[in-house]
Amino acid sequence: MLTEWCWVRRFPGLTNQEQRELQSRMEKRQMKDFMGFFSNLVDNCFESCIDDFSSKALSRRESGCVQRCFSKSLAVQQRLSDRFQEQNQLMMQAQQGK
């Protein structure tokens, strides 16, 4: 797995067990971060889009707003993730060149 290789390269002094533990912690952290992002996304889209509480159903306007809010937020998150990965790769290449 690429992620495991990256950690081995960054921390070559770790034992296999320590590498697995570190990997597990990082995966748990990533899940926690994702859940936090998703929770914030729901809160933000709800606050921005839902304003009529007279019906259980979403109005057509509210539904469209929520869909646009989610789509835009996920697109921004993907773009940020792509840029982060690109920067990480450049840093790794620079370290390998030393």
Verdict on whether the full-model pTM lies above 0.85: no
pLDDT, residue 9, reads 55
Confidence band (pLDDT; 50, 70, 90) for 6? low
Backbone angles phi, psi at 58, to 5 degrees: -75, 140
* Candidate from 10-14, 42-46, 49-53, 57-61 with smallest mean pLDDT: 10-14
pLDDT tens sequence across 17-56: 888 898 899 999 999 999 999 999 999 999 999 999 999 9
pLDDT, residue 44, reads 96
- Structural domain boundaries of the chain? 2-96
In whole angstroms, what is the distance from residue 72 CA to residue 67 CA?
Answer: 9
User: Which CATH architecture group holds 2-96?
Assistant: Orthogonal Bundle (1.10)
In whole angstroms, what is the distance from residue 23 CA to residue 7 CA?
Answer: 8
